Amino acid sequence: MTDKKSRIQALISAIISYLQAHRAASPGVGMTLDKLEAMRLSEQALIDAPPQRSRHDTVLNTAIDAIRTPQLQEIAHCLKVAKDDLVWREDNAQFYPSGADLGQGYKNRNLHTMLIGPDACGYDHPDFNLGIFMLGPRTLYRDHNHDAPELYLNLSERSGWRFGTPDWQDYPAGSLIWNKSRAPHATLVYDQPFISVFVWLENVNSPCDIIQCDDWAEVEQNLANQSS
């Protein structure tokens, strides 16, 4: 196995190890692990995809360097080592229908790499996604939902979330967020970039739907004011 494949496999293994240690934290963790255990994640099945860097590479380095929680250090180390082996993409067109009102902040500051899934750089799977997702500082990821049940493992020290209500709640690094199919959710990024592991358990080819909320302009203006 090449060094590149070894580094990607080590990153996936570190994520799985964290989830195994927190199986009881959320129903979605157990469901994710059950799916992963049924897969053939062998050395022979690893994809040899050409790496692809991003215009957001500096912000990505900042996000990775800021992962400080002790329990996340194995993931952080493996991600730092494998970062330049991965295929990094922006998801404006991949997950949303044409014309979706995502907001300029999100459009200009999102990034992901797919470790398992269709067109992944680790393991191919037709109906399961596991990857790393990043948003730049002071970004609103607007309220949305999707058919895919979704699990987030937050790697950043602090991020804001809401789930179909006007009220935001902060979540720390290491927290696990489970969004059932079609459950509304939104993410608020503060002064530091947001980075997480994400999983879509099924229905990965179904598009996301934006859920219009009246406070988007106010939230995004407040974020812009913080950067000035």
Instruction: Write the pLDDT tens digit of every residue in 107-138.
Output: 999 999 999 999 999 999 999 999 999 999 99
**Using an 8 Å Cβ cutoff, are 115 and 130 in contact?**
yes
Instruction: Write the pLDDT tens digit of every residue in 168-183.
Output: 999 999 999 999 999 9
Instruction: Write the pLDDT tens digit of every residue in 181-204.
Output: 999 999 999 999 999 999 999 999
Which one is predicted more confidently, 94 or 68? 68
Nearest to 64 by CA among 81, 75, 80, 88: 80
| 93: pLDDT strictly greater than 80 | no
Instruction: Write the pLDDT tens digit of every residue in 10-27.
Output: 999 999 999 999 999 999
Interval 211-215 mean pLDDT: 96
Cα-flanking dihedrals φ and ψ of residue 100, to 5°? -60, 140
| 9: pLDDT strictly greater than 70 | yes
DSSP one-letter code for 4:
H
| 101: pLDDT strictly greater than 70 | yes
Could you give the count of Cα atoms lying within 13 Å of 102 in the half-sphere of its Cβ? 21
pLDDT category of residue 96 using cuts at 50, 70 and 90 = confident
| 228: pLDDT strictly greater than 60 | no
Mean pLDDT (the chain) is 95
| 92: pLDDT strictly greater than 70 | no
The fraction of the chain above a pLDDT of 70, given in percent, is: 97
The structure tokens listed for 50 are 């050409």
**Using an 8 Å Cβ cutoff, are 56 and 91 in contact?**
no
Instruction: Write the pLDDT tens digit of every residue in 151-164.
Output: 999 999 999 999 99
pLDDT at residue 99, as a whole number = 78
DSSP annotation string for 44-95: TT---PPPB--TTHHHHHHHHHT---GGGHHHHHHHHHHGGGSBEE--TTTS
- What DSSP element (H or E) covers 142? strand 140-145
Task: Report d(CA 157, CA 155) in Å as an integer.
Answer: 7
What predicted TM-score, i.e. pTM, was given to this entire model? 0.96
Work out the angle at residue 159's Cα, subtended by the Cα atoms of residues 77 and 70, and round it to the nearest 5 degrees.
Answer: 30
pLDDT at residue 1, as a whole number = 64
Q: 63 in the Ramachandran plot: left (φ > 0), alpha (ψ -120 to 50) or beta? A: alpha
The fraction of the chain above a pLDDT of 90, given in percent, is: 87
Q: Whole-angstrom distance between the N-terminal and C-terminal Cα of the chain?
A: 49
The structural domains of the chain, ordered by start, are 3-227 (2.60.120.10)
